[in-house]
Amino acid sequence: MARGLSRLAARAIIALVAASVVVPIMWTLLSGFKNRVDIVTPTPMLFFTPTLDNFLYVLERDSVRAGLINSIIISGCSVLIGATFGLPLAYAVARYPMRFANDIQFFVLSLRFLPPVAIAIPLIVIWLDVGLYDTRLALIVTYSLLTLATTIWLAIPAFRRVPNEIEEAAFVDGYGPYAIFFLIALPIAWKSLMGAIVFSFVLVWNEFLIALMLTTSDAKTLPVVASEMTQLGRDVPWGILNASVILLSLPPLLFLGVLSSFLNSALKTRNQG
Amino acid sequence: MKIRTSLPIVFTVPTMAALAILAFVPTIDAINIALQNRELSNPDSVYVGFANFRALFDDPRFLNSVWVSIKWEILTVVATMVVAIPLAVLLFEATSPNVRNALCVLFIVPALLPRVSAAFVWRFAFHPLFGLAVYPLKLITGHPVDLLADPHTAMLAVAIVDVWQWGLLFSVVIVKLLETLPPQPLEAARLDHARTWEVYAYVALPMLRGALISLVFVKMIESLRAFDLIYVMTRGGPGITTETLDMYAFSQGFIESGRISYASSMAVLMMIATTVAFTILWRRVRRWQEA
């Protein structure tokens, strides 16, 4: 009896936590479809006549469109750079005995220690001095530091999980070291590597502080545009704000499945290894 | 298969060189700028030695931001673990595998949201007049409650969002780790009439000690990045009660005065403090995990 009760209490707590995830997000989503009069009510309204006006307004705004395009180009390029150069490096560290393997790993991790504001402030000056301030190129280069570090850090264990025997068998069959990397290791580890790449994408798509400090108009990314809308004056267009926040949040959520299974596989092998 | 090959050099040297340039150029330049008196509006500047650093320690607003950052760091790291560990145990004990897997996917969602979005979702929910989260408070007290404008509750309200993102993510990580544990030690403890909480406190969680320490370490690093949440939710306010170091450096270097050198000296101090602290901690963590 007491056991059943405590089980019930446990489930109640879990349900409460689950509600804390679902309710605020759903509320934001619902409010994206509300007219302003239905949002600014003293009692929260659950039933209302939905409208697409907020989303249409947001999508038609030049600033949002420019932010969306900037975000796609900047995250796309920096993720591509991170993967193209990070994956081979991770493979070399994972597979070849190197004198500096541990130092490389620690260096890559230590990039994570740097407070973003500490990188951003000197970069303002550097990009201003070379005339690239507020350009996509400046952000792509800066973000490549993030994507490279993340991709390398997550890809090293993924490559270590590829069974050594397979690579040795390929070697016996006459494959060279580069062929083994491209034709054997990459395809086998691909699923985990995708997780690492997607993770680096979410990281730069969501990045805010550096983008805020390194852009003023031309290269603004979507988080910066969205945050500017949330700082609008007194007569706050809440419906439009909600719509723009939803637009900003969709891309990372698209990868929920990939990242969740990546987390699963990474944690499973970690404890056995 | 150990043969002589150019692969390790070709794959590592160029990329490491690029990484080193990307990381060290801004770092060294930060120090360089911190020793000048440069302002954003005026590119001419002279070297002033350590004047910026000396000025920092006479600046009450800087000292306040150090204190706010320390409070924020402790509050969010502790709260995240205090939420994550019991929640993980509850999930592991009281749900069937299918329900648990579904909940694990759900609990990752807050961490995936851009912090700007998470901050906004909750700023909206905390809105004194029509926020959903404060609606019950409004009914009880009879007047609007503005958590984000009250100096006593503002940091707490922002910390809730941080824990909402990280605490739930960590609970998923810990559940997955609990699932990988061998069941025999837990069963043995149960046969010895250990209570449920004792099984976890004395058997299961100690077995995960290394992983839990790593999680604390990760959270300590991530808690330094509170800027997005604070910027969207309070902008450091009310007054300067939630103005962390990065928020203050940003407003000095960017909004209020464009004193980029002054801001840079703050950045240098942060860089030194975090690098030293985390290098020492990281060595410790390694040792604890191996012990």
Task: Profile chain B (291 residues) by mean pLDDT over runs of 10 residues.
Answer: 76 90 89 86 80 89 93 96 95 91 94 92 85 81 83 92 95 93 87 85 88 89 88 87 90 81 90 86 76 61
Q: Does some domain include residue A194? A: yes
pLDDT of residue A44: 76
Nearest to A13 by CA among B255, B102, B117, B83: B83
Q: Which phi-psi region, left, alpha or beta, contains residue B197 (left: φ > 0; alpha: ψ -120 to 50)?
A: alpha
Q: Does some domain include residue B17? A: no
Distance CA B171, CA A115 (A): 26
Nearest to A150 by CA among A205, A227, A223: A205
Residue in A20, A115, A238 closest to B224 by CB: A115
Number of domains in chain B: 1
B1 or A6: which leads in pLDDT? A6
For residue range A114-165, what is the model confidence (pLDDT) as tens digits? 888 888 888 988 998 899 999 999 999 999 999 999 999 999 989 998 898 9
| Partners of B47 in beta bridges | B36
* Range(s) of the domain holding residue B56: 32-290
Q: Does some domain include residue A118? A: yes
Q: Which amino acid is at A17?
A: V
Q: Does some domain include residue A7? A: no
Number of domains in chain A: 1
Q: Does some domain include residue A16? A: no
Chain A positions in Cβ-Cβ contact with residue B246 (cut-off 8 Å): 115-117, 209
Distance CA A87, CA A193 (A): 8
Q: Which of residues 57-76 of A touch B (CB under 8 A)?
A: none
Predicted confidence (pLDDT) at residue A171 exceeds the cutoff of 80: yes
Q: Which two tokens stand for residue A251?
A: 């891309």
Structure confidence at residue A270 as a pLDDT band (50, 70, 90): low
Nearest to B184 by CA among B176, B192, B195, B175: B192
Count the residues in chain B: 291
Considering the entire predicted model, what is its pTM? 0.89
Choose, out of B3, B7, B126, B170, the residue to mutate when testing the contact with A (most A CBs < 10 Å).
Answer: B7
Instruction: Kindly report the CATH number assigned to the domain that includes residue A215.
Output: 1.10.3720.10
Token look-up 């805020």 returns A212
Q: Does some domain include residue B104? A: yes
Q: Does some domain include residue A176? A: yes
Distance CA B224, CA A150 (A): 17
CA B132 remoteness from chain centre = 26
Model ipTM?
0.87
Nearest to B90 by CA among B169, B178, B160: B178
Distance CA B126, CA A172 (A): 64
Chain A positions in Cβ-Cβ contact with residue B124 (cut-off 8 Å): 24, 27-28, 31, 238, 241-242
Nearest-neighbour CA in chain A from B268: distance (Å)? 7
Question: What are phi and psi for residue B36, nearest 5 degrees?
Answer: -110, -175
Residue A245 has a CB neighbour count (10 Å cut-off) of 30
Predicted confidence (pLDDT) at residue A1 exceeds the cutoff of 60: no
Chain A positions in Cβ-Cβ contact with residue B94 (cut-off 8 Å): 7, 10-11, 14
pLDDT of residue A2: 63
For residue range A12-21, what is the model confidence (pLDDT) as tens digits? 999 999 999 9
- Output Rg (C-alpha) for chain A, integer angstroms: 23
Residue in B1, B87, B176 closest to A267 by CB: B176
Q: What is the 3-state secondary structure (H, E, C) of chain A?
A: CHHHHHHHHHHHHHHHHHHHHHHHHHHHHHHHCCCHHHHCCCCCCCCCCCCCHHHHHHHHCHHHHHHHHHHHHHHHHHHHHHHHHHHHHHHHHHHCCCCCHHHHHHHHHHCCCCCHHHHHHHHHHHHHHCCCCCCHHHHHHHHHHHHHHHHHHHHHHHHHCCCHHHHHHHHHCCCCHHHHHHHHHHHHHHHHHHHHHHHHHHHHHHCCHHHHHHCCCCCCCHHHHHHHHHCCCCCCCHHHHHHHHHHHHHHHHHCHHHHHHHHHHHHHHHHHC
**Cβ–Cβ below 8 Å for A31 and B124:** yes
Nearest-neighbour CA in chain A from B152: distance (Å)? 23
For residue range A195-223, what is the model confidence (pLDDT) as tens digits? 999 999 999 999 999 999 999 888 999 99
Q: Which two tokens stand for residue A103?
A: 């130092």
Predicted confidence (pLDDT) at residue A234 exceeds the cutoff of 70: no
Q: Give all strands (DSSP E) within chain B, no chain letters.
A: none
Structure confidence at residue A271 as a pLDDT band (50, 70, 90): very low
Q: Does some domain include residue B286? A: yes
* Element counts in chain B: helices (H) and strands (E): 14, 0
Nearest to A114 by CA among B67, B278, B258, B247: B278
Q: Does some domain include residue B63? A: yes
Nearest-neighbour CA in chain B from A52: distance (Å)? 19
Distance CA B130, CA A239 (A): 13
Nearest to A135 by CA among A122, A145, A124: A124
Q: Does some domain include residue B69? A: yes
Q: Does some domain include residue B77? A: yes
Count the residues in chain A: 273
Q: Which two tokens stand for residue B214?
A: 């790593």
Distance CA B117, CA A250 (A): 10
Contact predicate B112/A256, CB 8 Å: yes
pLDDT of residue B84: 96
Q: Does some domain include residue B14? A: no
**Cβ–Cβ below 8 Å for B132 and A27:** yes
**Cβ–Cβ below 8 Å for A42 and B177:** no
Structure confidence at residue A272 as a pLDDT band (50, 70, 90): very low
**Cβ–Cβ below 8 Å for B26 and A119:** yes
Q: Which two tokens stand for residue B133?
A: 């989260």
Non-local (6+) Cβ contacts of B222 within 8 A are B166
Percentage of residues of chain A with pLDDT beyond 90: 45
* Range(s) of the domain holding residue A101: 57-272
Question: What are phi and psi for residue A216, nearest 5 degrees?
Answer: -125, -35
Distance CA B110, CA B96 (A): 23
pLDDT of residue A273: 38
Q: Does some domain include residue B233? A: yes
pLDDT of residue B147: 85
Q: Which two tokens stand for residue B289?
A: 């995990």
Residue B134 in contact with partner chain A when CB distance is under 8 A? no
Instruction: Kindly report the CATH number assigned to the domain that includes residue B186.
Output: 1.10.3720.10
pLDDT of residue B1: 47
Q: Does some domain include residue A169? A: yes
Q: Does some domain include residue A102? A: yes
Distance CA A178, CA A158 (A): 18
